[in-house]
Structures are given as structure tokens and as C-alpha cells.
Chain A
Amino acid sequence: MREIEGRSRGWWALFALGAAVLLGMLLAWHAMETRGHIITGMTNQVVWGLPHVVAVFLILAASGVLNVASVASAFGKRFYKPLAPLSGWLAVVLLAGGLAVLGLDLGRSDRLIVALTHFNFKSIFAWNMFLYSGFFAIVGVYLWTMLDRTVGGYSSAAGRVAFVWRLVLTTGTGSIFGFLIAREAYASALLAPMFIVLSIAYGMAIYLLALIGVCAGSGRALGRGVIERIGRLLGWFVLAALYFVAVFHLTNLYLAKQIGVERFLLVDGGIYSWLFWVGQVLLGSVVPLVLLWLPATRGKRGATVTAAALIVLGGLAQMYVTIIGAQAWPLDLFPGYQMRSSFFDGVIHPYAPSLPEAALALGGFAIALLGALLGVKFLRLLPESLSDEALEPGAGAN
């Protein structure tokens, strides 16, 4: 294992980019603190906006990126073992990015300490505070057992705890939405397992992007067989995610009272229907599956990077539809009646993110990027070589 060359031009360029975006986030936060959320596109109708789309995506990806390490520790696959430390570190920085966005979007982000000292244990949000801080602690210990040989014997046990913890964490994230009885687009226990599968797809896509990026930047060998193997596994999770999405929508379509909202999301919803079919299904799932599995493209760097980037964009599209599309659909207080009022009852609620909230949201990615860059510079997250021969002696290119 070794650190990467932290003085390369590429490293500094990315670091500067991340720092600039982070600065934009802090400026946006300051503006929202002083002038209020009036400068965002969020309203009393669409109360959670782009920041929440990105934050939930990053939190899901944080849990999912740990899958590479889990395959090594919980399922005992030796092949994945050298890949595990990077996976653990990315989990920490992605979660930090997601939580920063959530925290800075609060109406009273200055009261974050209140959120850490007052708990209502009926609230899934309150549980999540423990799940998130526990995740940092457990993955931290897991990383320590992987990076420090004197405690390396505990690595497998720590990995198993982390595996269980992240499943619970993602169940918690899915349940934020799953238990909202008021919203027709949610209110399904299916959201929790669906979010687990989604998280693994998003997380492994980000892992592949990071792995290929780090190896290219540090001049490490990276075997096509290595990329192909992770890509093939990722393909299965993309397929599983599609399956869950299909079952979720089909169940809703079966319930007569949900047909309105389903028709809105899938057919008449304008941007939401587009994001669903073109963003999430076609570009975010079908195209990546082809790239990851087709013999001509699988394992190739360009194709894999394209596939992974599309999965990330598709994931963001999916979160946009899930979080904002569901709020755009008006609450039905009086089934069987047409409703109108000064408070926008009975009409589709428009939403357009403003520059400050976009900057705030992007800051989450910047924090994850900066954390990842510092990690690969100062920690030994990847071995010297990731050639096929180094990871799987005697296995050849496949």
C-alpha cells in the first residue's frame, strides 16, 4: 500500500476545484442564513429541494460505497480486500458531504447543537443522527483495522459490524420517506429495501470512478479484469434497483387512489416524467447495464467511467423525482372533490432551484471530493499495483 503523489497537477487541479465549490457553498449558506430561504426555490409547497436531493443521494452513496469493503470482509472475498480501505474512506467523506448539505440547509443551522442535544425518539430523523454518527465511528474503526497492521486481526469483525450498520442506516434513510402517510407518492415499506439496493448501485458507481481516477492520477496499474469484475457486480445492483423501482410503481398503480400521482410521475409530470424515463431508466440504468455487460465494452476504462457517471446522474434524477416530484403533487385532503385556495391546494406545485441552493447542494460533492483527495494523499488506501495479476494471481485477464 502507498499514498499517491499529492503534488501532481491533476491532484491540485481537483483540489482547487473542490475548494472553489466549497467556498461557493459557504457563501450560499451565509446568504440563506441572513436573507432567509426566500432566496431559494423552496416554498411552503415544495419544502425540500435540490439540497435534499443531493444530500440523500450522497448519504445513500456513502452507505453503498462500503459495499466493496463488505464483499471483502462480510463475504470473505479475498479479491476485494486490497480495494477495501478506499471504499471505507469514501464512505466517510460521502456521508460528511451529505450531512453538511442537510445541516447547512436547516432554517436554523446555527442550532445544530440543539439537534444533537434534544431527541424525540419517535422521530426517524432523531434515530438517523445516531445511525450517522455511529456509521462514522464504526467505519473509522474498520479503517483503522485495515490501515494499521497491529490491529489487522479485528478487520473482519469490524467489517461485519459495518456491513450490518450500513444496512440499518439505509433502512433509516428510506424510512424518512416511507413513513410519510400524508404523501401519496411515498407511504410504502418498500422504500427501505429499495433504498438499500439503490445505495449499493450509486456507491459502487462512485467507487469505480474514484478507483479509475486515483489509478490514472497516481500511475498505478489497474487491470481490465479488476474493472470488469467490479463493473459486473455493479450491473447486478443496477438491475436489482430497476426491479425494485418497477415493483414500487406497479404496486402504486394497483392501488386505485394512487393512480393520480403515478400518472403524474410517469406520464404527465413534465420534467419528472422525463427525468424518470430518460434520466433514471434509460441513461441511468439501461445504457450503463449495456456498457458494463457487453463483451465489447465491459472492463474498458472509458466505457466503465461513462457507465458509472451515468449511474450517478441517473441516481440524482431518481432522487429528484422521488423527493421533489412527490411534493409537486398536491395533497388530497378531500378525496372526490376539486379543491382550490390561496395556499395552492389542488394544483401542481412548481419548483425551480435557485443559484444559492444549487451552490449549497454542489458543496456536498465538493466536501466528498476534497476528503477523498486528502485521503488518497495521506492514507494508504490502495496497493502499489491493481493489475489483474496482483489482485488475483494466476487468473489472467478475467
Chain B
Amino acid sequence: MNNRRAFLGKAAALGGIAVAPGLFLFEPARAKGVTSKVRWGMLVDTTRCAEGCDACVAACNKENGLSGRTGPDDSQWIRKVELKEKATGRTLSLPVMCQHCAEPPCVDVCPTGASFKRADGIVLVDRHICIGCRYCMMACPYKARSFVHRPLHDQKPDVPRGQGCVESCTLCVQRVDRGGEPACVEACRAEGRNALLFGDLNDPASAISRRMREAGAKQIRADLQLNTGVRYQGI
């Protein structure tokens, strides 16, 4: 009897050791720093964004392992949009990506909860429970999401993607969780344009909050009252 008990105890301990890395090593990496005290956001200064420049798009594709193809079936997490005001002829150039809404319609409609918003405001798709129904794509007012239409090869270890799943801009969550900023922001700065500013919308002292306070910032389709995390100056 004692032998058996001892054996079970050892087995449990061994089992615990075997499972521990999964529980203790990976979990903190995922959860570290994710708190509702911060709300990550981005400010796009359209007056500094130039037509024809797509450094942000190229950087996004490279960072996240996207093909960069622009066919109707291809994923585009960020795109450059050229605008011309019908009444005045005024032209504008700006990037559009997932707007990381505080009230995201994609999260509301997702039947399984695969579309979710992290505590820090980043809207993501859980690749493990996305069934590929595309209801979120029907619901998104910003056309921010893409469906993976083909088999994928050579994925980035940090950026899991999946055929038959929906995906969109993650604000480069893999960089943000390590204290970095999204690849598009870095690329825009490297181009010398500085049209993109990333930061904590909840912190009144952050650069992004200050600039939004001083220069004013608008939301795309503000009429929908989704409280987007991506804001625009000059629209």
C-alpha cells in the first residue's frame, strides 16, 4: 500500500515537472504587462504622411511574415489609403489598419470568442478557436481584417497565423510585450516622417496623449462611437 502511495506521489511530482514549463515559463510571457491600466493606441499625423510612401506597409509585412501580395485574396494588415475630398479636391494620404476599438464589433459578433480585446486594448484573434466563419469581417466598419485563403509556409515564430483563420493588425503585440513599438511606427520614423506615434492613451503625460490634447485627433467613422485606439490628425 505504502509503495503504491509512494509511487503515485513520485508520478505526480514527475508529471508536475513535465507540465511546469508550459504553465510557468510560457504563461508569464503572455500575461506580462497586460493590464487595463494602459490602453495602447496610435496617432496618425496625416499632414506628415506622404502619398506613394508605403514604408509602414513594407515594415508590417516583414515583421509579421505577410507575403506583400495585394490580390483580392491576400492579407493586408495595413494599407495606404489615398483620399480626395469630393467638394474641394483636397487630397490626403494615410494608413488604415485595425482601429483597436474599445467597443469592437468584431468581438461582439464572434461566435466562439476567438476575436477578443486584451486588457490593454489590443484587439486580437485567438488562432486556436477561430473557426473561419468571417462574421467579424462582415461586422468590421474599417475593412481591417483578412482571411487566410491559402496554405501558409515559413511563418514567423512570434506571429502565429493559420489557413482558414481571420487575422488583422496586432499592433505588433510581440514587440509591445517586450517594451517595443509597432514595426510601422519604427519604419515611419526611419523614413524621417514621424507620422505615426504609439503610446498609452490612459497616461495623460504620454507623448500621444499630449499631442492628441494639443493638436486634436479624430476617429474614422466617429459616428459609430466605437472609441477607436487609432486616431488621426488632419482628417
Contact = CB atoms under 8 A, between A and B. Distances in A.
Given A37-B147, A43-B72, A44-B72, A337 B85 contact: yes
A118 B137 contact: no
Contacts of A119: 111-113
Nearest to A338: B84
B87 to A, nearest CB: 7
A43 B73 contact: yes
Contact of B139 (A38, A182, A341): A182
Interface in A255-296: none
Contacts of A179: 109
A107 B161 CA distance: 13
Contacts of A79: none
A184 B113 CA distance: 25
Interface in B91-128: 92, 96, 105, 107-114
B83 A338 contact: yes
Given A44-B137, A120-B113, A123-B111, A337 B83 contact: yes
Contact of B108 (A35, A123, A129, A340): A123
Contact of B129 (A107, A111, A336, A343): A111
Interface in A312-357: 327, 331, 333-334, 336-345, 349
A36 B148 contact: yes
Nearest to A349: B72
Nearest to B128: A114
Interface in A101-146: 106-109, 111-112, 114-115, 118-120, 122-126, 129
Contacts of B107: 120, 122
A105 B134 CA distance: 10
Contact of A111 (B105, B131, B220, B224): B131
A247 interface: no
A331 B164 contact: no
Nearest to B137: A47
A35 B140 CA distance: 26
A113 B135 CA distance: 18
A233 interface: no
A341 B96 contact: yes
A339 B76 CA distance: 17
A181 B149 contact: no
Contacts of A334: 83, 220, 235
Given A36-B149, A343-B79, A125 B138 contact: no
Contacts of A336: 85-87
B143 A345 contact: yes
Q: Is the interface of A mostly helix, strand, loop or mixed?
A: loop
Interface in A21-48: 33, 35-38, 43-45, 47-48
Contacts of A183: 138
A180 interface: yes
A115 B130 contact: no
Contacts of A36: 148-151, 163-164
A42 to B, nearest CB: 8
B131 A106 contact: yes
A191 to B, nearest CB: 13
Contacts of B112: 114-115, 118-120, 126
B165 interface: yes
Nearest to A118: B112
A38 B83 CA distance: 30
B147 A125 contact: no
Contacts of A47: 134, 137-138, 147
Contact of A333 (B87, B110, B141, B148): B141
A344 B74 CA distance: 11
Contacts of A349: 72
B143 A331 contact: yes
Contact of A108 (B130, B137, B151): B130
B146 to A, nearest CB: 5
Contacts of A344: 72
Contacts of A123: 108-111, 135
Interface string B164-186: 11100000000000000000000
A38 B134 CA distance: 15
A111 to B, nearest CB: 5
Nearest to A125: B111
B131 A115 contact: yes
Contacts of A109: 131-132
A257 B131 CA distance: 34
B3 interface: no
B198 to A, nearest CB: 21
Contact of B76 (A33, A107, A338, A342): A342
Q: Which of A33, A334, A340 has the most CB of B within 10 A?
A: A334
B81 interface: yes
A31 to B, nearest CB: 13
Contact of B72 (A45, A327, A340): A45
B130 to A, nearest CB: 7
Contacts of A345: 79, 81, 96, 143
A337 B84 contact: yes
Contacts of B73: 37-38, 43-44
A48 B138 CA distance: 8
A139 to B, nearest CB: 23
Nearest to B70: A342
19 contacts: A36-B149, A36-B150, A43-B73, A44-B74, A44-B137, A44-B145, A106-B131, A107-B147, A107-B165, A108-B130, A111-B131, A115-B133, A119-B112, A125-B111, A180-B109, A180-B138, A181-B224, A334-B220, A339-B83
Given A37-B73, A183-B138, 4 more contacts: A47-B137, A107-B133, A119-B113, A339-B83
Closest 9 pairs (CB-CB, A-B): A107-B132, A107-B164, A125-B111, A182-B141, A43-B72, A120-B113, A118-B112, A47-B134, A342-B70
